[in-house]
Amino acid sequence: MDRRSWIENCARAAGAASIVGGLQLALPRRGWSAEAQPKENRDTKPLTITDIKTILTAPAKIRLVVVKVLTSEPGLHGVGCATFTQRARVVETAIDRYLRPFLVGKNALDIQDIFQSSYLSSYWRNGPVLNNAISGVDMALWDILGKRAGVPVYQLFGGRCRKAVDTYRHASGASFEEVADKVAALVAEGQRHVRVQMSVEGLATYGAGRQPGAPEDDRRPQVWDPKPYVLMVPKLFEHLRKKFGDKVELLHDVHERVPPILGVQLVKDLEQFRPFFVEDPFSPEDIGYFKHLRQQASTPIAMGELFNSPHEWLGLVSDRLIDFIRVHISQMGGLTMAKKMAAMCEFFSVRTAWHGPGDTSPVGHAANVHLDLAAPNFGIQEARVFTDAEREVFPGCPELKDGYLWANDQPGLGIDIDEKAAAKYPIQDDPPFDFRWGELRRADGTVTKP
């Protein structure tokens, strides 16, 4: 079919036409029509979504939500991460009761249209439940497209910019020496970047685990006071710089736990120790403080793991108030949204540092790796070592070697889920779904941000 016939065909299918640039172009009013396709070959022929499964599993004792999209081509399916571990069963409902009936029968190759129509499907949007549900489907569709084309997903994004993905891991402890020992161990394993966290005696401190001697099933309310913490962190950095010099990049996560003005003080105090970045110095509700922080210190800032919506990050990027965008990809709408976000950040020299904790499933980690390989403005990737049980449930986990994550170069995301193995690790409702963050309180009993 020539171009003119295709245009006429489109106009007939849509029942409406407009003149654009001298050409008569169709404006389809209601979805796509097979009639409107310019030609049919294996790559453009519709591939029907026949079923969507939501799989809940916890091989590392962390509740994961994984989506499997099945298609009309026998054996061709895709997987995606929809993990919102605190509300796993709500995401499961959003997929099974709402997205599945909305999407079964649609063309799995219409990734952009499925993203847009799903995003608008509930009118009220930008919430973590719907975003995670959309993300699970979206990643699975990219996985399917890669498998169908016979190439890794990073190839669909324009190809590799680098051989592998540089990463950071966590060193946490209850003393300067304990943190330093863990940094040394990670450096010996090949890490060039390490996130350092330390607890303050008598207080719960983010990322540093329980105090020495506390029982494993300690269920007492956790007490948190910001002042001793902001006084301690610069001393930890001073200790580590004396010990390691500049041989290792150091990172720190404030985890939005301090009043904004104390966050400003801490970031200023850390500047002299040259951190690779300081993460989440403010909560999403306090992002107005970033413009003040920028006037005070040149410490690189990473922000965004709690973001749900472009409204939250667009201004921070375009005003050059942060250095690393650090969203949780399944929280934002999946690969389709993350690709756009990375491209926008590139023009403002903001680098990517996608969230990569235990409550990102190995499928989500694989998605991160494909984005990291193809994004010119990749910065760093948070990584972890997968357990044997995770490897059993998710064949094809990305490999961590010498501090780099490597894709396995199989078509699609290169990872799958073994449903029989997943069933061996059912999710539990304990720890409870609020992770006891509602119990994190100041000494006077006031609830505090997590």
Task: List the end-to-end C-alpha distance of the chain, in Å, as a whole number.
Answer: 59
* Residue 121 token pair: 């499907």
The three-class DSSP label of residue 386 is: coil
Strands (E), 255-362: 277-279, 301-303, 324-325, 351-352
Residues near Mg ion, by CB under 5 A: 253, 305
How far, in Å, CA of 31 to CA of 437, rounded? 44
At position 371, the amino acid (one-letter code) is L
- Asked about 170 being catalytic, the answer comes back as no
Catalytic residue among 255, 328, 355, 365: 255
The least CB distance from residue 304 to Mg ion, in Å, is 9
The residue among 370, 384, 381, 373 whose CA lies nearest residue 328 is 381
Contacts of 400 (CB under 8 A, 6+ apart): 167, 383, 384, 385, 406
Integer Rg of the chain from CA: 23
The least CB distance from residue 186 to Mg ion, in Å, is 18
301 φ/ψ angles, rounded to the nearest 5 degrees: -120, 135
The three-class DSSP label of residue 20 is: strand
Indicate the length of the chain as a whole number.
450
* Residue 337 token pair: 């949204």
CA pseudo-torsion sign 356, 131, 280, 440: negative
Nearest residue to Mg ion, by Cβ distance, number only:
253
How far, in Å, CA of 251 to CA of 325, rounded? 14
The least CB distance from residue 380 to Mg ion, in Å, is 13
Catalytic residue among 98, 119, 206, 289: 206
The residue among 290, 299, 204, 194 whose CA lies nearest residue 249 is 194
Of 168 and 386, the one with the shorter C-beta distance to Mg ion is: 168
The least CB distance from residue 93 to Mg ion, in Å, is 27
- Residues 168, 175: contact at Cβ < 8 Å? no
How far, in Å, CA of 410 to CA of 42, rounded? 20
For residue 152, is the peptide bond before it cis, meaning its omega torsion is within 30 degrees of 0? no
The least CB distance from residue 355 to Mg ion, in Å, is 7
Pairing between β-strand 193-198 and β-strand 165-173 as defined by DSSP bridges: parallel
- The neighbouring-strand residues paired with 26 are 17
Of 395 and 450, the one with the shorter C-beta distance to Mg ion is: 450
The least CB distance from residue 319 to Mg ion, in Å, is 22
283 φ/ψ angles, rounded to the nearest 5 degrees: -80, 165
Of 71 and 368, the one with the shorter C-beta distance to Mg ion is: 368
Of 253 and 359, the one with the shorter C-beta distance to Mg ion is: 253
* Residue 352 token pair: 């990517």
* Residue 75 token pair: 């054996």
The least CB distance from residue 197 to Mg ion, in Å, is 10
Of 71 and 360, the one with the shorter C-beta distance to Mg ion is: 360
The least CB distance from residue 332 to Mg ion, in Å, is 15
Of 92 and 253, the one with the shorter C-beta distance to Mg ion is: 253
Of 253 and 390, the one with the shorter C-beta distance to Mg ion is: 253
- The neighbouring-strand residues paired with 194 are 169, 250
- Asked about 206 being catalytic, the answer comes back as yes
Of 153 and 383, the one with the shorter C-beta distance to Mg ion is: 383
How far, in Å, CA of 191 to CA of 185, rounded? 9
The catalytic site residues sit at 206, 255
